[in-house]
Every structure is written in C-alpha cells, then in structure tokens.
Amino acid sequence: MTDQQLFDPAEPHDSDGKPGSTRRLTVEADGGSRGNPGHAGYGALVRDPESGRILLEKAAYIGKASNNVAEYSGLVAGLELARSIDPHATIHVKMDSKLVVEQMSGRWKIKHADMRVLADRARRVLNPRQVSYEWIPRERNKDADRLSNEAMDAGMAGVDWTPRTTAVSGPDATLDHEPGARAAAPTTASGRAEADRVTEPDRAAEPPRPAGMLHHVEVWTADPTAAQASLGWLLERLGFPLQRSWTGGSSYGTAAFYIVLESGPDLAGGGHERRRPGVNHLAFRAGSRDDVDLLARRAASHGWSLLFADRHPFAGGAEHYAAYLENAEGFEVELVAD
C-alpha cells in the first residue's frame, strides 16, 4: 500500500457511513512526551460547536513513547469518543500537530511504519468522508493539552487519570445535562443578571431540591483573569466545568450548584484577607490521598502555594488528610481526601 492509497476515501472502513445525521461535532486532541521518547500521554475531547460545551473527554498515560505516537493516540481516542456520541455525525478535528493534520489530510507522506499503523487505525474509526482536519495554534488547544498533561502527571505518579465529570453519549449528550429553561435571578457585582449566564433547570421536570442546600457561591476578585487562571483551573479539576465567561467574570459548575468568580464597580478596596471576619476558605472533596497529592503538586504551576507545610498533610488533625492551598490573591482552598 502506498502513502496515497492510505488516504483513498474509497478504501473500506469500519463505519457504514449511513446518511441522515445532520449533527456536527468538533474533536480536539493532543499528546505529549516528556523526553521524546519519554513518559507520554494523550488527551481528547468532543465539543458541541454550537454551544461550545464539552460533551465527552478522555485522557490516558501510554508509558514511554514519542510525541508523535501520543498525538496520534489522542486523535484515535477523540474519533472514538465522537463515534460513541453519533457514528454518522460530521466531525471536524482540531489539533496543534501540523504533522498529524497534514498526514491525515493526505498532503504529507507518512514515512515511518508505526505512524502508518496509527494513521490507518484513526481513519478506520469513522468514514473518512465524515472527517475534516484543521491545524490550530497551541494556545487554542488548551483543553486537550490540559488533559494530556493530566494523563502524564497521573501516570508518572502511579495513579489512574480521573475525569472531572461523567458525561453521557447519544444525540442529545451534554456535559452537565442542563435543560434549556432560564430563570430570573438577582443582580451580581457586575450589574448583570445571573439568568444571563447560568441556565436554570426546568422545575417541572425534576423533583424539588431540599431547602437549605447551597444554590451557588459568589467570589469577588480584584483580578478576574488571574482568578480564572488559578481558582478557575482548580474548580475544573474538581469537577466544576466552565459554564459561562464574560467581561469581568465566569461561572463554574452545573444548574444544581455553581461558583461565580467576578469583579465589578461595587468591589471595595483593600484586597482579600482570609483571616478577617467572614468566610475563611472553601473545602472540597478531592478523591483519594493520591489524588489530593497529585492535585496539590499540579496546583503549584497554576498560582497556588502550600499552607502549613510543616504539618502537611495533617494540618487539620491526625485523622484529617488534606492539602491547604493559597493563591496570589490570598484565597484559600482545602482539598480533602476521602
């Protein structure tokens, strides 16, 4: 088989390619290798191009491998995720690997035998007529890059990668299953109504929630961009997907409970000080002890520093395994092990 034959759209494939689906899905994939070859992992996700929501995501550590192998592995995983949602959808793949995009588009030859095997495997996931490819800069591939780094971090720490949320497949899949109804809401720090950015559930479609449950938490910040980079990053790792973002703020979570990071003209000066009267910190369940340790290590690269290092990880007591972190603005979070 020649390189050009590998990309012949008439070649047999696993998908039957039945017409009829008008759905469009976006696959974003990435892979990395620390050492090239070295510890390697990939990340892949499927996004709804209309809403921008992530429908499914996956990451895996693949041991010692090259960067190219990791990137192709991410592509295969992304296409498989898309197939699980709708095997007849039109798929647009976005990657920051010029090599993979050009090779899978048929414009560049595949010189290495192992790359041919991976390319062949990728194009057999779905009918090649359904799939198009686009190269994007690395800064536009942050979610897939995040996943691949999470996979490498987990693998090197000897633990399994854990997804931030569980999504479902199927034609109507969404990451957080929010119904389309909007509810009126009070005005926030920026003067915007919460209903403009948080989709509320259809109360008739679900049982009422118990009174007294937290509805949302709003954190005012002097620097919303920095807060998103540190606290927002951590919230996504803890299972709070980004819901909305706007000038001066963002929200993370689902309609059942969400956390808002926001700034606005009503914000008083003086900065945040956790030791003043008021809320001292937020505490989150963060999984196993290994999960807490891994997340605390990764957080150091996203503006967080460890508090009470001399008593870590039992600063909260001999039976309480947790990491206490503080970011540059002085916000404190506690990551609690199960």
The DSSP secondary structure of 23-51, one letter per residue, reads: -EEEEEEEEEEETTTEEEEEEEEEE-TTT
Measured N-to-C along each axis, helices 67-85 and 142-157 cross at an angle, to the nearest 10 degrees, of: 110
Q: The pTM is what?
A: 0.51
What are the chain's domains?
A: 3-157 (3.30.420.10), 203-336 (3.10.180.10)
Task: Round to whole Å and give the CA distance between 289 and 308.
Answer: 17
CA 147 to chain centre: 7
Interval 12-53: pLDDT, tens: 344 444 445 689 999 999 999 888 888 999 999 999 999 999
- The angle formed by the CA atoms of residues 179, 185 and 186, to the nearest 5 degrees, is 160
Q: What is the mean pLDDT of each run of 10 residues along the chain (338 residues)?
A: 36 44 92 88 95 93 92 96 96 96 94 89 94 93 91 86 56 36 34 38 52 90 93 91 87 88 89 92 94 92 94 95 96 96
